């Protein structure tokens, strides 16, 4: 009798490239877990289309549609709880999670960030804003951080980091590409390590 795979719920906000990578890694057996649901916080996301094409239950829970933050927070809990996820994985999800959700899933919510936290994190630090700040600071290395999610942007306990060296002629675009080439595979590797602990 085979042991059931750990279950993942993915939270995403955009094109779905990280979600797509995680999904196909799961289908190929490289990610030793099953993606059981997707939650997005914006309409018309690429991630939603990918989930529907693979018959994965997917929900749009847009904070703008709720009268207050706590009702949105409660709805997030009510949609995710029935799936009993072993981990909740942020894949480009750009919304701070509410206190109820973080309490309900304490120690189970994970995010990836394209810098070596605690440097170049926090509100407004996403995408090329990060890489631009890194290049302008003249530091010699950047990288990838995987961390537990807290009530503040990019502030939860660090799980793992991977360094990327910055060349003398590095640009925002070249640094972004360097990190993109490694971050999704690194995410899969660390998720697997957490799940087998």
pLDDT, block means (10 residues), the chain with 197 residues = 87 93 97 97 93 96 94 97 97 93 97 96 89 94 97 94 95 94 96 91
How much is the pLDDT for 31?
Answer: 97
The DSSP annotation for the chain comes to -PPPPPEEEEEE-SS-HHHHHHHHHHHTTSS-SEEEEEEESSSS-HHHHHHHHTT--EEE--GGGSSSHHHHHHHHHHHHGGG--SEEEEES--SPPPHHHHHHTTT-EEEEESS-TTTT-STT--THHHHHHHHHHT-SEEEEEEEE--SSTT-SPEEEEEEEEPPTT--HHHHHHHHHHHHHHHHHHHHHHHHT-
Pick the catalytic residue from 24, 54, 113, 147.
Answer: 113
Quick one: fold of 7-195?
Rossmann fold (3.40.50)
How much is the pLDDT for 196?
Answer: 87
How much is the pLDDT for 136?
Answer: 94
Enter the pTM of the model: 0.94
Task: Look up 129 and say whether it is catalytic.
Answer: no
Domain ranges of the chain: 7-195
How much is the pLDDT for 14?
Answer: 85
């Amino acid at each position: 009798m085979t042991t059931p795979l750990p279950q993942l719920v993915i939270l995403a906000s955009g094109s779905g490239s990280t979600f797509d990578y995680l999904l196909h890694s799961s289908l190929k057996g490289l990610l030793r877990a099953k993606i059981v649901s997707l939650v997005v916080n914006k309409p018309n996301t690429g991630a939603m289309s990918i989930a529907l094409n693979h018959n994965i239950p997917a929900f749009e829970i847009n904070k703008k549609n709720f009268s207050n933050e706590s009702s949105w927070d409660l709805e997030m809990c009510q949609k995710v709880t029935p799936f009993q996820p072993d981990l909740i994985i942020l894949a480009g999800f750009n919304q701070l999670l509410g206190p109820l959700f973080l309490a309900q899933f304490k120690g189970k919510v994970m995010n990836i960030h394209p810098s070596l936290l605690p440097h170049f994190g926090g509100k407004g630090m996403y995408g090329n804003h990060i890489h631009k700040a890194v290049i302008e600071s003249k530091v010699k290395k950047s990288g990838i951080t995987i961390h537990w999610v807290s009530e503040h942007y990019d502030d939860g306990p660090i799980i793992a980091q991977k360094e990327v060296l910055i060349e003398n002629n590095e640009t925002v675009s070249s640094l972004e590409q360097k990190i993109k080439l490694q971050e999704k595979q690194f995410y899969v590797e660390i998720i697997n390590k957490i799940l087998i602990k």
